[in-house]
Amino acid sequence: MNDVKTRTIATPAVSGPMSNTAGMSAAAGQVLRNTYKLLAMTLAFSAGVASVTASMGLPHPGLMMTLVGYFGLLFLTSYLRNSAWGLLSVFALTGFMGYTLGPIVAAYLALPGGADIVTTALGSTAVVFIGLSYYAQRSSAPDMSRFGNFLLIGILTAFGLGLAAYFLEMPVLSLAVSGMFVLLMSGLIMYQTQAIVRGGESNYIMATVTLFVSIYNLFASLLHLLGFLGGEE
């Protein structure tokens, strides 16, 4: 499918060191609850925006506009993360990401069997997120804090390779990048969840942004891979 391009977006920097304590304090529990509440609201809002853009047939803003909009709103959200304005900023960010995703999903839906690809990617994303989030909170889960630098370097590398694949029009490299992002985003979901549970992340706005971007990239990457496996690319 030559005219459909899924685009992954670089994630925010991973949070600071985590405590090795397996138990969750009351403060960490509150951050986790607030994060999941805000994440649910932003996912619903983003999905609504994506549905509107898809149904209206609006064009994708393009790679450069996507990157400028994403990093600009990400910087604004980080700057306002300790104020009430940070909540408005996170909705602006996730709404914009929903807008960029809508035309991509619409392009897949227009293909024979596209609805099955989108549904499978969506269901797989939900299963991976719920499963890894649950596992990361268990005391038997590996300590992900030691993988922070690895995840950061991996994400930056995959992002750079993704840009190269886009500009050089290298579909094989693009598929490899999607595979990398599936693994990296899975690791980042576990890392961020543990950071909240073990006290390494106390700001639920930034925790929400990290998890949202992880879910976005995971879905976009699975969509790309499933489209290829289904013979639609």
* pLDDT tens digits, 55-96: 999 999 999 999 999 999 999 999 999 999 999 999 999 999
pLDDT at residue 61 in the model: 93
What are the tokens at 48? 């609504």
Task: Please state, in angstroms and rounded to a whole number, the distance separating the CA atoms of residues 75 and 54.
Answer: 27
Give the Å distances, CA to CA, from 168 to 9, 34, 122. 18, 42, 29
Instruction: Grade residue 2 by pLDDT with cuts at 50, 70 and 90.
Output: very low
Sort 226 into a burial class: Cβ within 10 Å, 0-12 / 13-18 / 19+: buried
Pairwise pLDDT comparison (189 vs 143), residue with the higher score: 189
pTM of the model: 0.89
User: Residue 210 pLDDT more than 70?
Assistant: yes
Q: Across the chain, what does the average pLDDT equal? A: 90
Give the Å distances, CA to CA, from 76 to 37, 89, 208. 21, 7, 15
pLDDT digits (tens, 9 = 90+) for 32-42: 999 999 999 99
pLDDT at residue 62 in the model: 92
State the SS3 of 77-101. HHHCCCCCHHHHHHHHHHHHHHHHH
Nearest to 132, CA basis, from 28, 221, 211: 211
% the chain with pLDDT above 70: 89
Instruction: Grade residue 209 by pLDDT with cuts at 50, 70 and 90.
Output: very high
Instruction: Grade residue 200 by pLDDT with cuts at 50, 70 and 90.
Output: confident
pLDDT digits (tens, 9 = 90+) for 91-109: 999 999 999 999 999 999 9
Give the Å distances, CA to CA, from 219 to 32, 73, 170, 178, 223. 22, 21, 21, 10, 6
